[in-house]
Structure 1
Amino acid sequence: MNVLKAVSLWIDKLNTWVGWVVAWVTLGLVLVVFTDVVMRYLFRTSFVFTQELEWHLFAFIFLIGGGYTLLKDGHVRVDIVYQALGFKARAWVNLLGVLLLLIPGCLLIITTSWNFVYKSWAIMEGSPDPGGIPFRFLPKACIPVGFILLLLQGISLGIHSLMQIAGLESPQKDAT
């Protein structure tokens, strides 16, 4: 069990660090959107590069931040039933959800996105629009990377749930 705890701790630390990076990228996105709005409404101009940068950064935030969001229990769920359950029943729901839904779903997306990402990297795909970003392959690479991080965090959640079921870990009082 100590090995499982160590693995889970490492995954949690990894996604905590990733969450810190995503937070700073989010600040960057706010600044880019602010600049775009000022340019559009005050100077009546807009740049394709700026608009594409907005969705590149959003893709990074959304995809890469998924594991951190799961770590902090920030994903949407139907809490009507879940909150009424006891501590061990919640751990069972989490463990079964990880094993039956999260892991297979992540593996499906990771394996099916490899060829898509590989082709984009092979041609160094860029924007088809004049003035656009020449690095479209980068946000596409966030698909498997983000789902690998989510998969890892799902494994950590499964380990925590297993330990809670076995009585080796108490419930987390505050997920934030």
Structure 2
Amino acid sequence: MNILLDGITRLIKVIGDVCSLLLLAIMAVVAYEVTARYVFNSPTSWAWLINKQLFGVYVMVAGGYALVHNSHIRIEMLYQHFPGTIKKVIRWFTLVAAFCFLGALLWKSWQMGMDAWRIKEVAMGAFRLPLYPLKLFIPFGTLLFLLGCIVVVFRKK
């Protein structure tokens, strides 16, 4: 079982590390847009749309990545004073809530992504960027987060 959990953790970390490079791309697009707009008085029609897509991918991976790194925020000033049994109850309640939310998100985002794929959905306006790749990435990122929850549940601490 530990081999499977370690494999899931490594997968999430590798995908998270690769997606962290998207921040460099986002910064480059913003720098280009600011330069084009304010230096050359020639704003782009595509920069905001590209950045929304890149940031969407980044955010979808960040949840699972933060989970396997134990980086989610807790209110430590309260949590640290609870006895061990209360901490366990809170931990399990939080994980059940996460499974319910992420399960529903996976289900609905899969339907939305497949609908977008079927019609080859594109953005409105002059720059008709395909939206279906991002919409298909939402269930993928949600699945990574769910796998991270499974690691948290079964990992012996």
TM score, norm. by length of structure 2 = 0.89
Match of 1:154 among 120, 124, 149: 149
Identity of aligned residues (%): 22
1:50 partner letter: A
How far, CA to CA, are the matches of 1:40 and 1:158 in structure 2?
49
2:144 partner letter: L
How far, CA to CA, are the matches of 1:67 and 1:30 in structure 2?
23
- 8 Å contact 2:67–2:148 — kept in the other structure? yes
2:54 aligned residue: 57
**2:28 aligned counterpart, secondary structure:** helix
- 8 Å contact 2:37–2:44 — kept in the other structure? no
- 8 Å contact 2:116–2:132 — kept in the other structure? yes
How far, CA to CA, are the matches of 1:45 and 1:23 in structure 2?
29
2:142 partner letter: F
How far, CA to CA, are the matches of 1:80 and 1:140 in structure 2?
38
1:150 partner letter: F
Distance 1:128 1:15, change over 3 A: same
Q: CA deviation at 1:18?
A: 1.1
Deviations 1:112-153 (A, max 9, x none): 1222111100111111111241x1111111211111000000
Q: CA deviation at 1:75?
A: 2.3
1:170 aligned residue: none
Matched, 1:114 2:110: yes
How far, CA to CA, are the matches of 1:122 and 1:58 in structure 2?
24
Structure 1: gaps spanning 5 or more residues: 165-176
Q: CA deviation at 1:21?
A: 0.9
1:136 aligned residue: 131
2:11 aligned residue: 14
**What is the number of residues matched between the two proteins?**
157
Q: CA deviation at 1:81?
A: 1.9
How far, CA to CA, are the matches of 1:54 and 1:71 in structure 2?
26
Q: CA deviation at 1:85?
A: 4.2
1:102 partner letter: A
Q: CA deviation at 1:24?
A: 0.9
TM score, norm. by length of structure 1 = 0.81
